[in-house]
Amino acid sequence: MKKRILIPLLIILAAGIAVFSVMIGDYMHHTGDALQYNYIIQTVRKNIDDPARIADAGYDFPVYVFDEEGFLIYPEGSPVQTISQAIDEGLVLLPVHEGGRYLATAAIPDPARRSYDTAGKRLVTAAAVMMLFFILAAVMFTIYVSRSIIAPFRRLKAFAGRIASGDLDSPLMMEKDNIFGAFTESFDIMREELKSARQREMQLKMKERELVAELSHDLKTPIAGIDTICDVLSVKLTDGYALGKVEDIKKKTHQMNMLVSDLFTAALDDLGEMTVSCTEESSAVLHEIVTASDPRSLTRDTPVPECLIHIDKSRMTQIIGNIIGNSYKYAGTPIDISYTISGDFLKMSVTDHGAGVPEDELSLITNKFYRGRSVRSSDKSGSGLGLYIASELMAKMNGELICSSDGRGFTASLMILLSR
């Protein structure tokens, strides 16, 4: 690539120098010539009686002829009329004699001056031509730099931007004889390695999620067995102390079951398998779900407006159960539930009267595995998945979970889509 641009540039510069030299090389050769002077004198002498015939000699410069008294006799109409004017104009005077007798005076432009005038014109022309050659060379070099250096570098910059934004599928195209060839190839190898590393990472994450889902599913069987044993012991035992311990075990079993269910649901969401199947339901089903999700009877709900809602009943049971379970765990107060129609949605607000959630944490509490500062510092267990799962399931049902807190409690508002 370097030879392909350097050779034409050198040819252009050499051609420019050669033209410059030819155009100015002979300007010094136009100095005074004694033979030429003598020839002019002989021509004037022969034609002294008919000066007009001097033009037939074919000189490429004017020849002036003055008489013995210094007045112009040829050519007629010339601005130079006397020898003194000819001297002022810098003309070369050539006396014409014949047999020792003075006949006239011939005057011609100074050859040296003509030579310098011609040389000046040649220099200006040569400089202009040379400048054109240099401009042409500069244009060619600029095009070369633009195509071979700047354009490839910009492509590399754009490629790096795509890599930074996560696009690892678009290769970096290499042009033939690109001076960044090796560099470009290294960039593309890096892209391939990053793509392979990302694929391996995704495969590992997928296996990890599948393992969590399998373990969560497998843990449900022994937990259900423990819960069944507790129910049997509650019937068989009569000792108060033992019955108390069985009840404690049953509560812990219930907590473990909730945690495992959340982990299982979150794992299914990561695997893209947390699905909803919405049907048209009467709004009265919400009261049934609240009652089933409130074993401690802490909820106080208002009448539900009669309407049809578009929900997955089992998923809505899971959502409301998670919200009420959070209020049990972190507030332990009565829970007020109200309903209003808001546009295309039935808004269900679930409000407890505990310590609430700090304002700077409200936007975070629906993130996966997020637990607030006050919760982390307490002895309350949890996975940080309850509100995350509720939010994801509401989104899948074309609704929304909105969390708010006024410092005197916490409100989870469910925007439930109305049937059309």
Confidence of residue 351 (pLDDT cuts 50, 70, 90): very high
Q: Please name every residue paired with 311 in a beta bridge, in sequence order, or none if there are none.
A: 279
- Given 240, 266, 292, the domain boundary residue is 266
Cβ atoms within 10 Å, residue 80 = 18
Is residue 102 within 8 Å of residue 41, measured between CB atoms? no
The answer to whether 160 and 184 have CB atoms below 8 angstroms apart is no
CA pair distance 162, 168, nearest whole angstrom? 8
- Residue ending a domain, among 179, 203, 236, is 179
| Domain final residue pick, 234, 266, 298 | 266
Residues 283 and 389 in one domain: yes
Residue 387 Ramachandran class (φ > 0 left, ψ -120 to 50 alpha, else beta): alpha
Say if residues 117 and 102 touch (Cβ distance below 8 Å).
Answer: no
- Here the CATH number for the domain that contains residue 331 is 3.30.565.10
What does 263-309 look like in DSSP terms, one character per residue? Answer: HHHHHHHHTT------EEEETTHHHHHHHHT-TT--EEEPPPPP-EE
Residue in 133, 127, 149, 176 with CA at minimum distance from that of residue 8: 133
Same-domain status, 154 and 244: no
pLDDT band at 174 (very low <50, low <70, confident <90, very high): low
Higher pLDDT, 135 or 417: 417
Residue 184, in any domain of the structure: no
Residue 172 resides in a domain = yes
Q: How many domains does the chain have?
A: 3
- Say yes or no: 25 and 57 in one domain: yes
Q: Are residues 253 and 306 located together in one domain of the fold?
A: no
310 is written with which tokens? 């578009």
Q: Is residue 7 part of a domain?
A: yes
> Over 90: is that where the pLDDT of 209 sits?
no
Reduce the DSSP state of residue 101 to 3 states and report it.
strand
Q: Which helix (H) or strand (E) holds 125?
A: helix 111-145
Whether the per-residue pLDDT at 350 is higher than 90: the answer is: yes
Do 37 and 115 belong to one domain?
yes
Mean pLDDT of 57-69: 85
Domain of residue 127 covers 1-179
Over 60: is that where the pLDDT of 354 sits? yes
| Domain co-membership, 197 together with 154 | no
Q: Is residue 187 part of a domain?
A: no
Q: Is residue 401 part of a domain?
A: yes
CA angle 317, 217, 376 (to 5 degrees): 70
Residues 91 and 196 in one domain: no
Both 2 and 149 in a single domain?
Answer: yes
pTM of the model: 0.44
Look at residue 94 and tell me whether its pLDDT is greater than 70: yes
Residue 204 lies in a domain: yes
| Residue 72 located in a structural domain | yes
In a domain, 272, yes or no: no
> What is the reported pLDDT for 176?
57
Same domain membership, residue 391 and residue 324: yes
Q: Same structural domain for residues 291 and 357? A: yes
- Residues whose CB is less than 8 angstroms from the CB of residue 405 and which lie 6 or more positions away in sequence, other chains included: 356, 357, 358, 359, 362, 411
At residue 294's C-alpha, the angle toward residues 305 and 341, to 5°, is: 20
Note whether 299 and 410 are same-domain residues. Answer: yes
Give yes or no: residues 58 and 173 share one domain. yes
